[in-house]
Amino acid sequence: MADLYETLGVHRDSSFDEIKKAYRKLAREYHPDVNPDPSVKDKFKDITAAYEVLSDPSKRQKYDLGGDPFSQFGGTQNFGFGDIMDAFFGGGGSRGPRPRARAGQDALIRVELDLEEIAFGTERELTVETAVRCDKCGGTGCADNSKPQTCGICKGRGEIQQVTRSFIGNVMTSRPCNNCGGYGSVIATPCSECAGDGRVRSRRTINVKIPAGVEDGNRIQMSGQGEVGPGGGTAGDLYVEIIEKPHEFLIRDGNDLHISIAISMAAAALGTKVEVDTLDGPQEIEIKAGIQSAEAVVLRGFGVGKLRGSGRGDLIVHVEVITPQKLSKEEQELLRKFAKIRDERAGSFEVHNRDKSRHQSGLFGRVRDAFNR
């Protein structure tokens, strides 16, 4: 018997994926549908037989240890306590063949969103690469519209029974059939496109509707858009994970947005109107006379759309009053006159409530620090 590793052109320490890749490459070259030369028919059978052994962990192990992977009862039979328990407590009962079509796994894709897209919701066209049902064989894994053939070893049961002599006498146990892998049938002529798996990898484009108000780390579930299972089984789900990109000057806190602006001392004392950039475009707000640093002006409904419910959050404009650092002699004299008129003495101060001061400076300080970074 020729060396099975040499038949597929792989090393003895090759992984399952490497073995599968080598088989698919050779199958495309020697499959009767592709190569009409009659002399390659036996070559294709040898390739398929080698793949059936090396893709099955138990058969491969038996082959590596020098056993015959094609024999039903080849090799030494080791009988242990687990076999005895199987025989006495149901392990020896018939389980029947397992289905070839199995459910596929879920898939995950991440998408980055701007704050504008999160605030109003958006629709994205995403390219995903997953396992899809093989069009050539329709997911059966068989070539030329053929069907899996009943396994000649287990006769379609998907398992084989063995009688082993032990210290308590003869014990019958059941094991999955190594020839068919427990399916009860074998694919004599695998599809040249999917190598009998019933699925292939493919890129496709899907449209994803992203609602307003999603947050960083949220996942949107798309049923049936994940990996198609082996044998053309039902597909898993696709999860779209949201990654929120930071905004240039707006800071998000739930459904609310925060922005920091700075005004002059005179503007704060006299009051003024300023234009603030929002997600809806520039908006004019009125700063009342006498506003203090860390106070805020709230624009209702200019925040992020609510994920659960209607409406939007607010835009909170934090105001910082800038004290001039360099004054001319004339400016100094005017300020002294202003202080004298108001009976303000140098060095005088007021003690504010500690809790109130902490409340006013807490969030604003964080917003200001983030804004100034």
Residue 39 lies in a domain: yes
**pLDDT value of position 2:** 73
Residue 283 lies in a domain: yes
Number of domains in the chain: 2
Q: Does pLDDT of 345 surpass 80?
A: no
Structure tokens at 30: 């020697």
Q: What is the pLDDT of residues 179-222, one digit of tens each?
A: 898 999 999 999 999 999 999 999 999 999 999 999 999 999 99
As a whole number of angstroms, the distance between CA 288 and CA 292 comes to: 10
Q: Does pLDDT of 38 surpass 60?
A: yes
The domain that contains 365 carries what CATH number? 2.60.260.20
* Residue 1 CB contacts under 8 Å (≥ 6 apart), including other chains: none
Q: Does pLDDT of 77 surpass 50?
A: no
The domain that contains 46 carries what CATH number? 1.10.287.110
**pLDDT value of position 136:** 94
Average the pLDDT over 106-114 and give the result.
94
Residue 31 lies in a domain: yes
Domain that holds residue 32: 1-76
* Residue 215 CB contacts under 8 Å (≥ 6 apart), including other chains: 118, 242, 244, 307
**pLDDT value of position 98:** 86
φ, ψ for residue 67 (rounded to 5)? -85, 175
Which of 76, 106, 134 delimits the end of a domain? 76
Q: What is the pLDDT of residues 280-330, one digit of tens each?
A: 999 999 999 999 998 999 999 999 999 988 999 999 999 999 999 889 999
Q: What is the pLDDT of residues 230-267, one digit of tens each?
A: 998 999 999 999 999 999 999 999 999 999 999 999 99
Higher pLDDT, 153 or 174: 153
Residue 365 lies in a domain: yes
End-to-end CA distance of the chain: 72
DSSP H or E stretch at residue 62? helix 57-64
Contact 275, 284 (CB under 8 A): yes
Residue 101 lies in a domain: no
Residue 173 lies in a domain: no
Placement of tokens 């079509």 in the chain: 101
Which of 76, 109, 124 delimits the end of a domain? 76
C-alpha to C-alpha distances, 151 to 51, 97, 105, 318, nearest whole angstrom: 17, 10, 28, 76
Residue 56 lies in a domain: yes
Higher pLDDT, 226 or 350: 226
DSSP H or E stretch at residue 126? strand 122-133
Position 67 confidence tier, pLDDT thresholds 50, 70, 90? low
Q: What is the pLDDT of residues 12-30, one digit of tens each?
A: 888 888 888 888 888 878 8
Let me know how long the chain is.
373
**pLDDT value of position 162:** 72
Residue 263 lies in a domain: yes
- Of 110, 269, 136, 264, the closest CA to residue 192 belongs to 136
Which of 76, 99, 131 delimits the end of a domain? 76
Query: With a threshold of 0.85, does the pTM exceed it?
Result: no
